Structure 1
């Protein structure tokens, strides 16, 4: 496993214990090999040839201890018993404890090192014969204690490093969980705020729009004038449509999955004909056949619809009586929407409120899809809204 510990780890971790490093790895291996050669120099200089070979194999096995610690330890065992290569076996045992989770194998390796350490003491050298003369029981106990310490110390170091790495991994995981928890809390706060805004919109707008629909309906029923009846009916339908769209926006703000009910809650390019007919503006709509044959995402449909809707509303507010032309076509990999009107021919009977945020909102919608929207006023007083969107529009928020 790869250590998650960063550059602030102790230097001995990087040089001798870390499983995958660059320059520190080779430097540490060379240092350990040099220590092993110095420790076994008597064997290398005066020992028999098979003892020398076993020691050299044990030195070379140190390069395997990071990836194959069990094999590295096994290759040091002949030199431990035959060439007294205790240091090399301890290095391999440390690597085994650090990486291998097999407790039985680790316990066996510790016992092997303990036995090898005892065999380095002359009374226990089987191949040289036992020499118990002058050996007391305290001497045996002391050497047994030494064997336990020498066999256990490398294992303790390796286990300590493994525990340190695992602790660092847990800290990283806890940090990830904490960030995920913060993200979920932020999403919950956003959902709550959206729900609050939705209810505020509902309370502020739906009541008055409902009253408009009721009053318009009553007027269309009671009036005897055909023109008044027609206009009252249009007013009632507009109020009802506004309530339906307000409901869809409210469901979106509340995060309610039921907002996908029915195509009426997702106006798009196919609904533009009805929008133009009911806009109160003398407008002509041109949709290229190349556009009708495209399978466009819902976000692009809504952006086109809202752009045309806002543009016609601005014509009705700021240029009453002016005709308008709505054109939707493709230009290479882009969809182009143009709404152009001439100067108004009438004076507005009732000034309508306007905060100048309509075009700003259209620009933001277009930017979310990777496109652009601009309003252009000509010297003759005409006004053009041009929306350009990529046909492969990215999803909002991406």
Structure 2
């Protein structure tokens, strides 16, 4: 009951601190943050926001005003919804709110990609956990893979990646304020067995490049912006009397043809380049993974960690596993270890309580409370966690430890490292212990100022 009352108090306080409901153009949330696009950022009072009980941090990044809450963000968001305009209840739009500068153009691209990927993360996490469960079943009883139950549940797990382009197109279309159902309709057609990966197809006598649309999010990311531009032109030209009939017809047909002839092949080229980039990036073994693992907490701090998600998804769908994703295991548990060390060593009761509670939360995969409530505030523990993550990154890079699905990395989700050899899983478990212990030990000996 107390928590419910807190959310009811927090919701109007947050809205007032960002300049009122009329200053919020669009609003959404991820697993731990409110993500707002404000009409005028100058009206937001960051200090007032940070003073609200329950707000762990504020980030102005990639066109979004991100307010860090923690795992209970959805409950808070539900309290805010009745106080906000219904038209804003969608993923943030891809608009330049601060002028046409090169920096903002790059920021808009990152914001668009992040805005398309972030809404799909719950599905990918759910799929990853189901895949992990199936991996455990397969390890304990290999014959179970032949049963109908295993096959059916596996179909559920694989659907998340097979139809990920459909979800990305839907999220992207909603973000750009075009018809998300038409976008999904086009991508569903492209992902069908009649088209995806089929050779020797032609359209109007024009030979089509073989493109695998299932699991390939790049064509969807290219299609949606073009569709949004086309949609606006159609709305200007068509008479009101026929818009509801002809708009989806023209939009769907034209985007289907454009994607088959142009955007799909371009997307394949980009996807191949991304896959090759991942191979190059991880070819340096321990060095590259040390850098990536050390950077992960910093990317989480500024809300840019989802930018790497397309690379990870592309890596898994292309090669069946991801070395890049293992950086999150190293970083998350290093953060957990550092926070727990603060909880054990701190003299102030507040720091003890915060360290223990956020450390346990980080062990269970949600690291923002530990980062904002403990490590950033005390500074030295953050540096210690980064060092621990880097050392663990060297380990996972040297031994090529790979994830076979995606989920929020923690001790609970270690089964996502099943799928290859048993050695890979054991090494992942060892890496988890190394990260946690190093995070704790380095923080303990480096110390911190309270």
Q: Which bracket does the TM-score occupy, shorter chain normalised? A: under 0.3
* Largest Rg, 1 or 2: 1
TM-score scaled to structure 2, two decimals?
0.19
TM, length-normalised to structure 1: 0.21
Question: Higher relative contact order by CA 8 Å / sep ≥ 6: 1 or 2?
Answer: 2
